[in-house]
Amino acid sequence: MAMKALSKATIYQVAQLAGVSIATVSRAMRDSDLVTEQTRERVLAAAKQLRFTPSRAGRSLAEGRHAANGIVFPDLVGPYYAEVILGYEATAAGFGSSVLILATGGRTDADAAVRELATRVDGLTVMGQTVSDEVIAELRLPVVLLARDPVPGVDTVRAQNARTARSLVEHLLGHGHRRFTFLGDPAGSPDVRGRYDGVRAGLKRAGVEPADLVPTKGFDLEAGKEAAKALQPGTAVVCANDELALGVLLAAEEAGLRVPQDLAVTGWDDLLAARFAGLTTVRQPMRELGATAARWLNRRITDDMPAAARRRVLATQLVVRRSCGIHSPEVHR
Amino acid sequence: MAMKALSKATIYQVAQLAGVSIATVSRAMRDSDLVTEQTRERVLAAAKQLRFTPSRAGRSLAEGRHAANGIVFPDLVGPYYAEVILGYEATAAGFGSSVLILATGGRTDADAAVRELATRVDGLTVMGQTVSDEVIAELRLPVVLLARDPVPGVDTVRAQNARTARSLVEHLLGHGHRRFTFLGDPAGSPDVRGRYDGVRAGLKRAGVEPADLVPTKGFDLEAGKEAAKALQPGTAVVCANDELALGVLLAAEEAGLRVPQDLAVTGWDDLLAARFAGLTTVRQPMRELGATAARWLNRRITDDMPAAARRRVLATQLVVRRSCGIHSPEVHR
DNA sequence: TTGAAAGCGGTACCAT
DNA sequence: ATGGTACCGCTTTCAA
């Protein structure tokens, strides 16, 4: 007994079984009117019996659209990207759009992968450090940039970096810190560069000597621990993200340095771990970033008129805990 | 001047420009042989000039495959799923397969969404508590189950739950704990049920009275804090995951309870935060789970012969820190 | 080596 | 209200 039934049913088979044309089947399964209720029932019954599901490829070809869009990101390590993508997926789903993901991290053929992805979707959201502007420019479909420097004519959604970094510096200055180190590679991502710029601006404005820049090779715990070796006691270490900062915390403990007395440390992202490590950091609206990108992309795909490129910078928020300096009675958690 | 150039080029236009048939274009862009080097060059030049990229829909329809597969998961909150998906994507990419994601959390039409997804891919990986076995059974394509109870005839990849949970209990017993509470909803996911079963088995074997079951409505920090209200001092609280445990830790601190003296707490997942909270927990090979699923799915898609269903349980590892009880000199981090 | 043409599985226009 | 049919863009025989 062969399992013939396993092969997918086509619209032709449904039409035959229902005794109608394929056009009628197509209508019955989509348009409300233009088909007798009686006919529709017959068609639906046949479709059910055959377990018919319209072929996505056939549809896409005929409709000239994929009903899907993609998001390109560097990596998925740490909760940051995951949260962004979740916000993205949820919003895209609301528009009836499937989501394809592409992590460029650790890939040598990122450009090719993005081009290939571009053939499967109606639009693309491109995050941070993934592919060059050139690749993006030659993409022939709607694009939204996320956490990335703007490109003329392309929508861009970002989180506040420089300004909040300045606030962070001011807070540290308030603690009496005068020696600063920035940990992380500003060339590693636009976000990090923004944060670094903000730190420099804040120090300059206060007339304090510029921060030492200690580039890291990555943005994870290990990179932080490694980089911490070069740190001088009595320094305020502003880290590009929480994981680096947590690495520094670990290294400091091993080295017997007290935080914040011997070393002040701050992060960025407000991961769950930051709360338990007592790490002063900056919170970003991650889901909202993803949701906004998805919304804008959908608009680009749907709209006919080529509206002017939009840009938005979502606010971020300083979260003060104990790693940045001794605070008065208030308990920060 | 209309931007005609923006419309996508088709194989016909390339053929015309190169002065050959579409068949030749198709060959030139794929097969190595069967085409003169000279012809190929001409075709590639034309393709380049027109910025031609084969239509994915056209291809899929002709080839009868999508070169894509999907993964269905409950949610993306917390690093757990993100890690699994990252491992999955990386491996799938190695097979030249794109990845579509679908989060069923907070969706009322999960079944329909999964069915729709099934039309866009060559195979599907389905995680934990997302859709019913019935839906999976009626799917007419290769499926791999991840962190989910096996279904006859379907490949399943899971992480060790019960056994490590027993080890965890034994460790707690070693600390002298005799009153246990399990925090989390065993009905909420197969993983959690496995952990609960392991705890019960461990206690039963030791002749200790069964653990109190305190179901939570979710698996996040808030749920943990909320549930903590019902906890009695002097109890060992085994939580279904780290976030719940961290919530308990927070609540304990607020209530002035010392951990582990007044309350022993354990989690599951070994999130980054667990390390900083000193939380005893269990580490899972998250990326490896995803990678294995992707590998198996690819095999199902590629292989012709319907091999017997495979099952694998990946090992997990107890990570002892200070929340479970007072340890001797060793410092656990 | 190359071309003509038959699908692949739908959608939608044009008749009837 | 329904059917016939021309696409949608590509792959792959089958001939030449």
Strand C nucleotides, any atom under 7 Å from protein beta carbons: they are 1-5, 7-13
In B, which residues are within 8 Å of A247 by CB distance? none
Of residues A38, A37, A12, the one with CA closest to residue A25? A12
Neighbours of B5 (CB within 10 A): 10
Q: Do B93 and A107 touch (CB under 8 A)?
A: yes
Tell me the C-alpha distance between A141 and B165, whole Å: 50
Nucleotides of D under 7 A from a protein CB: 1-5, 7-13
Among the residue ranges A78-87, A246-255, B128-137, the one predicted with the least confidence is A78-87
Residue ranges per domain, chain A?
A: 11-62, 68-160+286-302, 162-283+318-332
- What confidence score (pLDDT) does residue A3 get? 32
Q: Are A272 and B272 inside 8 Å of each other by CB?
A: yes
Q: Give A-chain residues touching B60 at CB under 8 angstroms.
A: 56-57, 60
For residue range B181-199, what is the model confidence (pLDDT) as tens digits?
Answer: 999 999 989 999 999 999 9
In the structure, how far is the CA atom of residue B9 from the C1' atom of nucleotide D8, in angstroms? 13
B101 vs A85: CB contact, 8 Å cut-off?
Answer: yes
Does residue B62 approach strand C to less than 7 Å at its CB?
A: yes
Where do runs of H (alpha helix) occur along chain A? 11-18, 22-28, 37-50, 56-63, 79-94, 110-118, 133-138, 162-174, 190-206, 221-228, 242-255, 272-277, 286-302
Protein-to-nucleotide distance from the CA of B15 to the C1' of C4, whole angstroms: 14
Nearest to B297 by CA among B66, B75, B76: B66
Question: What does the alpha-carbon distance between residue A235 and residue A212 come to, in Å, rounded to a whole number?
Answer: 10
Any CB–CB contact under 8 A between B8 and chain A? yes
- Residue A326, CB, strand C, below 7 Å: no
Query: For the ranges A3-7, A233-237, B260-264, B272-276, which has the lowest average pLDDT?
Result: A3-7
pLDDT score recorded for residue B103? 94
Instruction: Give the pair of three-digit tokens for residue A196.
Output: 């670094």
Token pair, residue A272, equals 């769950």
- B31 vs B26: CA distance, rounded Å: 8
Residue A115 touches partner B, C-beta closer than 8 Å: yes
Using the Cβ of A249 and the Cβ atoms of chain B, whether some distance falls under 8 Å is answered with yes
- For the residues A80-104, what does the mean pLDDT come to? 93
Asked whether residue A47 carries a pLDDT value surpassing 50, the answer given is: yes
What mean pLDDT do residues B221-244 have? 95
Q: Which CATH fold would you assign to the domain A162-283+318-332?
A: Rossmann fold (3.40.50)
The SS3 of residue A208 is: coil
**Pairing mode of beta strands A212-214, B212-214:** unpaired
Confidence (pLDDT) at B127: 96
Give strand letter and number of the nucleotide nearest B10 (CA to C1'): D9
Under CATH, what is the fold of the domain A68-160+286-302?
Rossmann fold (3.40.50)
| CB of A90 less than 8 A from some CB of B | yes
More confident residue, A295 or A219: A295
Identify all chain B residues contacting A273, using CB atoms and an 8 Å cutoff: 271-273, 275-277
Answer for the pair B127, B146: CB distance below 8 angstroms, yes or no: yes
Query: What b-and-e string marks burial along A120-139, b requiring 16 or more CB atoms within 10 Å of the CB?
Result: bbbbbbbbbbbbeeebbeeb
* Predicted local distance difference test score (pLDDT) of residue A129: 87
Q: Choose among A136, A119, A118: nearest CA to A127.
A: A136
Point out the residue nearest to D11 (C-alpha to C1').
Answer: B62
Distance in angstroms, CA of B99 to C1' of D12? 27
Cβ within 8 Å of residue A215, ≥6 positions away: A184, A185, A186, A187
Q: What is the pLDDT of residue A143?
A: 96
Q: Which residue has the tokens 């031609």?
A: B52
Give residue B306's pLDDT.
75
CA distance, residue A100 to nearest chain B CA (Å): 4
Indicate the pLDDT class of residue A106, thresholds 50, 70 and 90.
confident
| CB spacing of A246 vs B272 below 8 angstroms | yes
The answer, for A185 touching chain B at a CB cutoff of 8 Å, is no
Instruction: Identify the closest residue of chain B to A106 by CA–CA distance.
Output: B90
Do domains B11-62 and B162-283+318-332 share one topology? The answer is no
List, chain by chain, residues whose CB lies under 7 Å from nucleic acid strand D: A 19-24, 27, 33-36, 38-40, 58, 61-62, 64; B 8, 10-12, 22-23, 26-27, 29-30, 52-55, 57-59, 61-63
Q: How many CB atoms lie within 10 A of CB A36?
A: 11
At B329, is the pLDDT very low, low, confident or very high (cuts 50, 70, 90)? Answer: low
Measured between alpha carbons, how far is B301 from A97 in angstroms, rounded to an integer? 25
B68 at A interface, C-beta within 8 A: yes
A contacts of B115 (beta carbons < 8 Å): 53
CATH number of B11-62: 1.10.260.40
Are the Cβ atoms of A276 and B271 closer than 8 angstroms?
no
Strands B155-159 and B98-103: unpaired
CB atoms within 10 A of CB A15: 20
In a 3-state reduction of DSSP, which class is residue A232? coil
Q: For residue A333, what pLDDT band results from cuts at 50, 70 and 90?
A: very low
Residue A258's CB is within 10 A of a number of other CB atoms, namely 10
Q: Region A110-130: what's the mean pLDDT?
A: 95
B54: CB within 7 A of chain C nucleic strand: no
Candidates A66, A120, A250, partner chain B, best to mutate (most B CBs within 10 A): A120
Give the pLDDT confidence of B106-123 residue by residue, as tens digits.
789 999 999 999 999 999
Interface test with A, best of B97, B120, B141, B280 (most A CBs within 10 A): B120
Q: Is B286's pLDDT higher than 70?
A: yes
> What is the phi-psi region of residue A270: left when phi exceeds 0, alpha when psi lies from -120 to 50, beta otherwise?
left
DSSP state of B6: G
CA distance B285 to B296: 16
- Nearest Cα residue to A180 out of A231, A216, A215, A229: A231
Is it the case that residue B328 has pLDDT exceeding 90? no
Nearest-CA distance B43 → chain A (Å): 19
Q: How confident is the model at residue A7 (pLDDT cuts 50, 70, 90)?
A: low
* Residue B135 forms contact with A (CB below 8 Å): no
What is the pLDDT confidence band of residue A105, given thresholds at 50, 70 and 90? Answer: confident
pLDDT at B227 exceeding the cut of 80: yes
> Given pLDDT bands bounded at 50, 70 and 90, which one contains residue B332?
very low
